Amino acid sequence: MLDENLPTYRFRTSSDNPLHTLLYYTHNGSEPTADYLIKRPPPSSSHNQYALGLFDIQYASVLYAEILLKPEWYQPTLSAAEIRANGGQSAAVAQVPQVFSVSLYNPDQTVNVRHQQGSWSKDAWEFEVPERSFRLPSTSRIDQECTESQVPELVPRVNFRWKRDGRMSRDMTCYMSGKTVGGKKNKEPDITIALFKAGKAPSVAIYEPNMRRVDVEDRKGLEVILLLSAEVIRDLYLSPRQDPFNTAGAMPPANVSKVDKSTASGPSMAGAATIAGPGMSGAAMSGAAMSGALANVRPSASQQPAGPDARIRADVEVEKKKKKKKKRAALMEQQTTREKEKKLQREQEEIKKMLEREEREEAERRRRERVEREKRVDRETEELRKKYGAQPALPPRPSPGPRASGALGGWLDAPPPPQPPRPRSVGPSPGPGGVRFAPEQQQQQQQQAPSNPGGGARKTLGNLLHNSPYAGAVAGTASGFFGGSAKDEEKRKKAKKKRSTHF
């Protein structure tokens, strides 16, 4: 079921004339109104041809487009029994051509629709429509007087294809599949353009949302081509009419090619398209085929069975033909394989170039982002400098010492700064020769004057007393305070002995 909102044309046979078909137009659920009229000529005036024209419904003299198609005749190769049944004569058979043309008027142009037959795939009918159909306005008299209506080959053409929805289906869909420029086709993804639904009341719906993507100047001509091509395909391929070429009672042309029936392309018009040879009517043919008097027909001398030599030669010829077919098939397979390999190589090269291009674009994008970020940082720094002024330079920091691996850091293991000397908690003890000092001071005295134990020692002692913190009044007070006890003298002796042991 088609969407009622799409522009739709419905085909209805006229009740007044069965050769006329009315096209009713509806859009957005509106009431159908007659828009076009398809006319077919009477069979008596159109022998051995298929013709129809699209006229305006209001003005019968306005012809938009027409189609004239003649069948292709061939002489099938029959067996001896069939030849005897036909009285020694073979009948010519008509078949549908693979190409039919749609002739448009104002502007005049011809569009060829080609049938692409498929074995297991779906059948398709392809055609091309030029992008530019109307002549450009010009003040030149030569351009105005030129009556050439053919579109130049350099004009780009848009490719369309009617495709059957299924092998057993009679519905079709029209796709836009790309463009042709200078004879080279550019394949593009299929875009739906129109839908055809078969049945008692066939209809063609224009898929309006995708029409803006169609680069065709003559939109009216494209609509006419879609309508007429759908009607011809339905009459000749999907639902063949009875005797569409009006061959009943007509004679085939003189130049009939002899083609094998199995190799003949296109559907043949069985029954109605078979024309009897001269001197043999259809009743005679049917009587000879249906009666049992086939044995009464005596074959001619040329139809006598051949001898064994002839059979051998025929077998040899058949073998030669089979070998030629096999060789041709092998060559075609090799050619197909080479083409596939070349195509795969081209695709790989294109993918490689695309990846390299993407990498270059990504590197360029990153570089631009980095430059932009640096510019932004410089701009913000300049704004902050203008707002808060220049920041004074900070003194250099001292280089940190070696860090320890402990949890509290390296500052615990660093050597402490040097401290001033601390005075002893007790003063010098007076002895029999004067004031006694610590062992360190005695050692220094011995190092300074080892050779003069007498006066030198006293001189050194005087210097020490002069430089010691107990010099002067304080020293006298200390010696008077600590001297005069026998017990203290004993302790000093013991301490002296201990010092001598250590030092």
Q: Is residue 398 part of a domain?
A: no
Are 345 and 440 part of one and the same domain?
no
Are 96 and 238 part of one and the same domain?
yes
Task: Answer for the pair 220, 7: CB distance below 8 angstroms, yes or no.
Answer: no
C-alpha distance from residue 371 to each of 364, 367, 382 (Å): 11, 6, 16
Q: Is residue 342 part of a domain?
A: yes
Spatial CB neighbours of 70, under 8 Å, sequence gap ≥ 6:
48, 49, 50, 97, 245
pLDDT at 267: 55
Q: Is residue 300 part of a domain?
A: no
Task: Answer for the pair 179, 192: CB distance below 8 angstroms, yes or no.
Answer: no
Domain end among 365, 396, 420: 365
Task: Answer for the pair 127, 160: CB distance below 8 angstroms, yes or no.
Answer: yes
How do residues 303-345 score in pLDDT, each as one tens digit? 444 444 566 777 778 888 888 888 888 888 888 899 999 999 9
- Does residue 22 carry a pLDDT above 80? yes
Are 163 and 290 part of one and the same domain?
yes
Instruction: Report the pLDDT averaged over residues 230-234.
Output: 94
Are 259 and 361 part of one and the same domain?
no
Which region among 178-187, 364-373, 462-471 has the lowest average model confidence (pLDDT)?
462-471
Are 267 and 353 part of one and the same domain?
no
- Does residue 417 carry a pLDDT above 90? no
Say if pTM beats, i.e. exceeds, 0.75: no
CATH code of residue 71: 3.20.90
C-alpha distance from residue 237 to each of 231, 240, 247, 260 (Å): 10, 6, 17, 21
CA pair distance 150, 147, nearest whole angstrom: 9
pLDDT at 102: 95
How do residues 146-197 score in pLDDT, each as one tens digit? 766 555 677 889 999 999 888 888 899 999 999 988 878 888 899 999 999 9
Burial class (CB in 10 A: 0-12, 13-18, 19+), 267: middle
CA pair distance 405, 38, nearest whole angstrom: 101
Are 237 and 123 part of one and the same domain?
yes
Burial class (CB in 10 A: 0-12, 13-18, 19+), 496: middle
Are 342 and 267 part of one and the same domain?
no
pLDDT at 279: 35
Spatial CB neighbours of 86, under 8 Å, sequence gap ≥ 6:
78, 277, 280, 285, 288
Domain end among 279, 294, 309: 294
How do residues 68-99 score in pLDDT, each as one tens digit? 999 888 777 766 666 666 665 666 777 888 99
- Strands (E) located in 307-433: 429-431
Q: What are the structure tokens assigned to 451, written together?
A: 């050779």
Which region among 123-132, 172-181, 226-235, 252-261 has the lowest average model confidence (pLDDT)?
252-261
Domain end among 308, 331, 365: 365
pLDDT at 474: 45
Are 41 and 159 part of one and the same domain?
yes
Q: Is residue 462 part of a domain?
A: yes
Are 56 and 201 part of one and the same domain?
yes
Average per-residue pLDDT for the chain: 75
Are 227 and 281 part of one and the same domain?
yes
Task: Answer for the pair 75, 95: CB distance below 8 angstroms, yes or no.
Answer: no
Burial class (CB in 10 A: 0-12, 13-18, 19+), 19: middle
Q: Is residue 378 part of a domain?
A: no
CA pair distance 54, 38, nearest whole angstrom: 5
Are 86 and 222 part of one and the same domain?
yes
42 vs 295, residue with greater confidence: 42
Are 227 and 284 part of one and the same domain?
yes
Count structural domains, the chain.
Answer: 3
Q: What are the structure tokens assigned to 355, written together?
A: 């990846």
CA pair distance 315, 123, nearest whole angstrom: 37
- Does residue 12 carry a pLDDT above 70? yes
CA pair distance 476, 455, nearest whole angstrom: 22
Q: Is residue 104 part of a domain?
A: yes
Q: Which domain range does residue 261 map to?
A: 8-136+146-294
Specify the DSSP class assigned to residue 472: T
501 vs 253, residue with greater confidence: 253
CA pair distance 125, 229, nearest whole angstrom: 9
Task: Answer for the pair 180, 168: CB distance below 8 angstroms, yes or no.
Answer: no
Q: Is residue 393 part of a domain?
A: no
CA pair distance 187, 49, nearest whole angstrom: 35
In one-letter notation, the amino acid at residue 324 is K
pLDDT at 320: 85
Q: Is residue 156 part of a domain?
A: yes
CA pair distance 343, 440, nearest whole angstrom: 102
- Does residue 274 carry a pLDDT above 80? no
